[in-house]
Structures are given as C-alpha cells and as structure tokens.
Amino acid sequence: MPQTAGSDGTADPGEVFIALGQMLYHGPEFDHAHQAICAAAVVLVPGCDHASVMTRSPEGELASPAATDSVARMVEQLEQEVHAGPCVDALVDDKPRLAPDLTDPDVPWPTLRARVLATTPVRGMLGFQIAVPGGRKLGALNLFTDRAGGFTDAAVHQGSVLAAFCSVALNAAEQGQEAQELRQGLESNREIGKAIGLLMAHHRIDDAAAFEILRRTSMDLNLKLAEVAEKVLSGHHDQLPG
C-alpha cells in the first residue's frame, strides 16, 4: 500500500485511509484487500506491531486469508488450535475483545496465553468483528502488540474505526455498488473518509447512513461537507443528529 510520510517521517493516517479506500472499492481481488487491511492496521492503530484477518464459515471452519507477517500467522494458528482467544471471540461478539497484558496470569485464555508467551514476542492482543461480504462468513480484524500494555484506549478507538470502515467497504466492493458520491468523498477529502468511519463506529450504522448524517448536517448548518467532517473529528460527533 502506498504511504505518504508526514512531517515526522511517519505515514500520514489520512493518506492511508484514502489509499485503503481506493484499494477496497476498486481492487478486484479480496485477498489483496484483506492484505491491505492488515498493512493499514499497523500504520493506523497505535501500538500495533502485527495484524491479521480471520474468517469463520457457517460450518465453523476457521481460515486466515491475510497477515502482516509470520508472527501474526502463528498467533492466529494458536487461537485456531485451542479455539479460544480475543480474536476467536471477536468472530461472534461485535464488541472489541482486548487482552492488554498477556504476562498477567488472570488473562481469561490461560492455554492460549501460555503458548503465545512461549512461542512469540506478542504481549497484547486486540480483536474486532468485521462483516465479510455476502453475510456468509464472520470475520475478525486481529491486532497484536509486542509490548505489555501496548494497546491503549486510543488503539481500541482507532481499531474500531478501521474495522467499521473495512466492513462496509468490503461489502460494497463485492456487491458492485457504485456509491459514487461516497467514494468521491473518500478519495477527494481524507477528513470526510475518516469522519464517516468514526460515525459508523460511534452510531453502529452503515456507510450510507453515516454519509447522510454528514450531508444533512452540512445543509442544515450551511457548511461545506469537509467542514462538518472536521467538526466530527474534533470530537463533536455526539452533537450531530443520529
């Protein structure tokens, strides 16, 4: 995934969202889309060192279509073997599943904890449910940190936004939906794309509904769409109509 560096030399999150949106909406192969999601997670989520996507079929079969590296694949393999862990739980629970410190003996997945500590550098795990296109499978975005306590509230927030964004984008891509106005907004103004993702996560709504909130508020307040997006990102999304 192309990355534009910010003033401090790190990848600019807004540019990453734009590149991810373009790839998910226009990319013809979902394996590539899943890989793009993993790459974006390491850039966008504070503390994230590795990432993967896990899916579960209606028959209960688990699969790992993409991962950033061998460490992420190893942890996913361990979760699949013991059928437990925050990432497996995220497949059936729409709330973020967090294990902030695997060195803590009170982690609710003792078997997984012991195996992860013994075989990988991972010390924290975070899982989010994502809707896999067509509703035939469940999916999870799985994030891993090599530092105990490396995932903060900011990581949970940003991961939720990314998971919500990817869930709708993957569905729109498979169904061939044009969503022209939305896609143009994502590609032309990074703030609009991030604001849509934030509204989706906060209100538990889809991309069309989130975009409608921005559009309606823009008309009611006589503000440009980008200006409304800036208000959302500055913490005023609770003041917008749901």
Q: Is residue 7 part of a domain?
A: no
Q: Is residue 138 part of a domain?
A: yes
Give pLDDT, residue 48: 95
Give pLDDT, residue 125: 96
Where a domain ends, among 141, 175, 209?
Answer: 175
Give pLDDT, residue 149: 94
Do 84 and 53 share a domain, yes or no?
yes
Give pLDDT, residue 197: 81
Do 146 and 29 share a domain, yes or no?
yes
Do 75 and 42 share a domain, yes or no?
yes
Domain encompassing residue 71: 13-175
Report the C-alpha gap between 66 and 72 in whole angstroms.
9
Do 76 and 110 share a domain, yes or no?
yes
Question: Can you give the three-state secondary structure of the chain, one letter per residue?
Answer: CCCCECCCCCECHHHHHHHHHHHHHHCCCHHHHHHHHHHHHHHHCCCCCEEEEEEECCCCCEEEEEECCHHHHHHHHHHHHHCCCHHHHHCCCCCCEEECCCCCCCCCCHHHHHHHHHHCCCCEEEEEEEECHHHCCEEEEEEEECCCCCCCHHHHHHHHHHHHHHHHHHHHHHHCCCCHHHHHHHHHCHHHHHHHHHHHHHHCCCHHHHHHHHHHHHHHHCCCHHHHHHHHHHHHHHHCCC
Give pLDDT, residue 28: 45
Give pLDDT, residue 2: 37
Do 154 and 73 share a domain, yes or no?
yes
Do 95 and 209 share a domain, yes or no?
no
Do 57 and 114 share a domain, yes or no?
yes
Give pLDDT, residue 137: 58
Q: Is residue 59 part of a domain?
A: yes
For residue 86, report the phi and psi dihedrals to the nearest 5 degrees.
-65, -35
Where a domain ends, among 153, 175, 197?
Answer: 175
Do 136 and 231 share a domain, yes or no?
no
Number of domains composing the chain: 2
Cβ contact 45:67 at 8 Å: no
Give pLDDT, residue 5: 34
| CATH classification at residue 108 | 3.30.450.40
Do 46 and 140 share a domain, yes or no?
yes
Give pLDDT, residue 133: 55
Do 119 and 222 share a domain, yes or no?
no
| CATH classification at residue 217 | 1.10.10.10
b (16+ CB within 10 A) / e for 18-49: bbbbbbbbeeeebeebbbbbbbbbbbbbebbb
Which regions in the chain score pLDDT beneath 50? 1-11, 28, 177-179
